[in-house]
Homo-oligomer: A and B are copies of this chain.
Amino acid sequence: MVFAVVVTIDVRPETIDEFTAGLHANAVATRAEPGCLRFDVLRTTDDPHRFVLYELYADEDAFFVGHRQAPHYPAWVTLCERCVPPGGRRNVYAVPAFPDEMTAHD
């Protein structure tokens, strides 16, 4: 079943340029993973230092194994260690409530 990860990230303001560049590289690399179906990168309207990632994977393993063992993943972890304060990155894991119609727009 499709597996969704919604990530909220609060970035140290003084690292925003470094973080944004690294986030972009991570998005491009993750979208190229065979198990990644979608990777949207958003910024909240009331706080420009808060990002939201909406990630869809073919299944849970595509995230926990495929994504986290991808060659580009360690650079992302290192980036977050530099740019995100403790507790500033929060993952929510979810699955489709109506699996037969994940969205009418696919």
Contacts and interface: CB of A to CB of B under 8 A. Distances in A.
Task: Give the bracket for the number of chain A residues in contact with chain B.
Answer: 35 or more
B27 A93 contact: no
A42 B103 CA distance: 10
B93 A40 contact: no
A69 to B, nearest CB: 20
How many chain copies?
Answer: 2
Interface in A20-39: 20, 23-24, 27-28, 31-32, 37-39
Interface stretch (A71-79, A80-88, A94-102): A94-102
A44 B44 CA distance: 21
A80 to B, nearest CB: 15
A51 B97 CA distance: 8
B23 A103 contact: no
Most buried by B among A8, A38, A46: A38
- Those 3 A-B pairs whose CB atoms lie nearest each other, nearest first: A42-B94, A31-B104, A41-B97
Given A43-B95, A44-B94, 20 more contacts: A4-B40, A4-B42, A4-B52, A6-B52, A31-B103, A31-B104, A32-B104, A37-B105, A38-B103, A38-B105, A39-B105, A40-B96, A40-B102, A41-B96, A42-B94, A42-B95, A42-B96, A45-B93, A45-B95, A52-B92
